[in-house]
């Protein structure tokens, strides 16, 4: 098994980090581009494996869409294949075939799509046989499982002959991602309405346009965490916008409590150390991908905090609740469920001389635990897992002066 040794380092000189582009924006823009009658000019698309997989599948159009481990790609391409009346087999890695897709399939079937499961009900692999006739323009879909199901339905809605009225049932999680989808659709000429829990999109055509993808706020969060946990330093994260479509820009507000001051410039956002104010509680309902980063940061900084809104973490690349609990324990910290879906971060009291982190085939586990190197040596298992969203992550670590050593 390949591992990467990260030598302890707690002080950082000023450095610029050329952040990768947003995977979330890129994947949505690619689907919209594929649905647009005309030629768009997309720029700054993400280098992430998920996005490159989407690009390859849309370009080569094989009979089998093997999305590897890309959940967003699986969900978006399933809806895309249905609305464009293509016959496709949708599959992926073993873990991908354990991640539920039943809510999306039920929604597509309810408007007339023909889709069949090839193995277990509710999970990939599945066969899409198109959408010959739209049978209804009104559907209900749960809002508390995955916003990607909702985004997938919204992006195909303009192409449906009857349009679509989508009613969100129950608590809505990751609402900022739904808002991102709708705002991107609007930038490609689509009009919509959202009143209470109902989103309505009439039948209409996407309009060709130019679109440049923003830098990735999820990727930015690890550098916020590194600076928060360090003794000193200053970082400029390039390409971020203050008024972002990405919900993970909430990291600015979170890290204000954990010792990082953010100043927006024409080039991006400048991060500077400041006193830790203390983070007592945070609801991650609309930014679940930040939970691992913030949990590790709190554990390192000695911050006892309450987390809610973690429901979707169990169906990500791994069960992220379980993974966090196992790895935090390695440096004497805890993520404890104190009541149903309410978790307490109990910080570390003593730090081992080195910690080996298992990454669970989850890119965010590797990157979230990187800042632990500010307190001890870290041995990271399967470091290449970061290629899913941030292939240049370890190169950017070296930019900051962190010493990395590959070990077999």
Catalytic machinery residues: 289
Could you list the beta-strand ranges (E) of 164-293: 164-169, 193-195, 198-201, 210-212, 234-238, 260-264, 268-273, 281-283
Q: Which residues neighbour 95 within 8 Å (Cβ) at sequence distance 6 or greater?
A: 69, 317, 318, 361
The structure tokens listed for 329 are 């324990």
The structure tokens listed for 94 are 């073993």
Distance separating alpha carbons of residues 8 and 10, to the nearest angstrom: 7
| 237 to 24, 225, 285, 323, 400: CA distances (angstroms) | 18, 13, 25, 28, 12
Q: Using DSSP, state whether 68 is helix, strand or coil.
A: coil
Residue whose tokens read 């949990």? 295
Angle between helices 49-60 and 23-35 (to 10 degrees): 10
Q: In this structure, what are the phi and psi dihedrals at residue 63, rounded to the nearest 5 degrees?
A: -65, -25
Q: Using DSSP, state whether 127 is helix, strand or coil.
A: strand
> Which one-letter DSSP state was computed for residue 286?
T
């Amino acid at each position: 098994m390949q591992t990467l040794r990260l030598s302890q380092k707690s002080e950082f000189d000023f450095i610029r980090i050329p952040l990768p582009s947003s995977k979330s924006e890129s994947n949505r823009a690619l689907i919209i581009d594929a649905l647009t009658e005309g030629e768009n000019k997309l720029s700054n698309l993400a280098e992430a494996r998920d996005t490159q997989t989407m690009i390859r599948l849309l370009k080569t159009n094989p009979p089998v869409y093997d999305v590897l481990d890309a959940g967003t790609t699986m969900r978006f391409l399933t809806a895309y294949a249905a609305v464009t009346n293509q016959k496709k087999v949708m599959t992926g890695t073993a873990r991908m075939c354990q991640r539920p897709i039943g809510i999306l399939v039920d929604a597509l079937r309810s408007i007339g799509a023909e889709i069949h499961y090839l193995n277990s009900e509710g999970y990939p692999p599945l066969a899409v046989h198109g959408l010959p006739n739209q049978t209804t323009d009104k559907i209900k879909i749960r809002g508390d499982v995955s916003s990607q199901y909702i985004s997938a339905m919204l992006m195909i809605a303009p192409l449906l002959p009857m349009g679509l009225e989508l009613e969100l049932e129950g608590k809505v999680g990751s609402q900022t991602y739904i808002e991102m989808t709708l705002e991107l659709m609007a930038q490609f000429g689509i009009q919509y309405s959202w009143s209470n829990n109902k989103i309505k999109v009439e039948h209409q055509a996407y309009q060709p346009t130019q679109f440049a993808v923003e830098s990735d706020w999820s990727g930015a969060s690890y550098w916020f965490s590194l600076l928060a946990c360090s003794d000193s330093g200053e970082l400029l994260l390039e390409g971020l916008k203050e008024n972002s479509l990405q919900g993970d820009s909430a990291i600015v507000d979170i890290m204000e409590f954990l010792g990082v001051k953010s100043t927006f410039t024409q080039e991006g956002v400048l991060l500077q150390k400041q006193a830790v104010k203390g983070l007592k509680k945070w609801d991650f309902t609309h930014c679940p991908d930040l939970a691992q980063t913030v949990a590790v940061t709190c554990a390192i900084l000695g911050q006892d905090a309450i987390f809610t809104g973690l429901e979707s973490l169990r169906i990500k690349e791994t069960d992220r609740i379980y993974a966090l609990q196992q790895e935090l324990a390695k440096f004497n910290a805890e993520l404890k469920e104190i009541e149903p879906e309410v978790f307490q971060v109990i910080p570390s009291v003593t730090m081992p001389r080195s910690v080996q982190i298992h990454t669970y085939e989850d890119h965010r586990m590797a990157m979230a635990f990187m800042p632990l190197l500010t307190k001890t040596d870290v041995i990271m298992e399967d470091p290449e897992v970061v290629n899913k969203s941030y292939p240049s992550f370890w190169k950017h670590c070296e930019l900051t002066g962190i010493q990395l050593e590959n070990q077999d």
